[in-house]
Chains A and B, each alone.
Chain A
């Protein structure tokens, strides 16, 4: 039984008068409870599109997406989801404390717990000393770190991260890897997209490669060794899909 499931999803974006761009083409995928799933694909493949459908930010043109056995339109399930958007942007006159309070409150966490988690998370992402500064004075990486803390404030069962490492320094990237491993050890399900192959290889149970809106390959790296570098597989799959299109 998959905890996250995409069922034959087609997503068209309107790009002009009677023009459209199909970002996902009959996309189906199931992610199991407790696994770490890495989502790969070239720029514009449709990774963020798939993730936004899970958060009900956009609606599939056809098909159905479910989380915990319920349609993604059910707002109740979002209590159990932690989400980090790509290039996150927050209310920037506020500081992380205020943002985390908002995020915790709305996700049903009580005030005591919010304070506890806030201190813990801001220490993990290394922003505790900067906690009273408004986000507008933060660097790109600091904003990204704030986003990670926000995604985890309510101790979600399912963590969905869209390119969590972008903009982070090597130490920050290391922190994210550690964090993902820790979450996995706690039994959380993690679904994340990334362009950094070695990180994906290090933490993932399974990897999905999406090219041009089509899921071309899913590899279970825990049971079937890759045999060659992930980079080679990625390029191979991308080119194969490119040729098929022609």
Chain B
């Protein structure tokens, strides 16, 4: 009987002590975390070996750890330093090395690194990896195209990725249109023609087809004229003065019609444009 009482007392005492100690430990851990800051990120090659067959779970853990860190900063309304953003990037790169197809780290990294940290290069590096692996997902090249257009003002690249995106997204008339416009301004007429033909193959809806076909015909006209200009320059070793010159010199028989009702002309920078601006 006495030993029972002693045991119970001892256990109760130890349980209370345990709770106290653990609370103190939490505080100590908090301090420790602050001091050590962000931890080192394991090299991908090592992680891939160490994760054995549980690479997917490892990727999940690494991703959610970084997300928790970022979330904590947001809640405490603290600014992320450049070093911390680098850490986030490395974690996302590691998570996507462990699972090449994992969308969340691509998405989280790309969105926050470009908008939040102004690290567009890193964001795009992640997205480029994603484009390679998630080769069915139209959203990835779309974001990448957007980053090139908006942050880097690189219309040519933007158009390239938007085309890729439109190719993947079957009913995406909007992306297609956007891509075509960028392509046109970025002197990638030929790509835009191919791309629109590709999209047309995938489109059943008649009204959408019509708008595509108009755009396609315009681009074909521009492409036709671009080639003629190139031939002209090749033959006469000088700039073309106007499109009529091409007809006069017999390179083409007639200037094609713009389906939008505009007129084709040679702009100051030498590119072919139309007065309708494809609207």
A and B in contact, CB less than 8 Å: no
Interface residues of A (CB under 8 A from B): none
Interface residues in chain B, defined as those with a beta carbon under 8 Å from any beta carbon in chain A? none
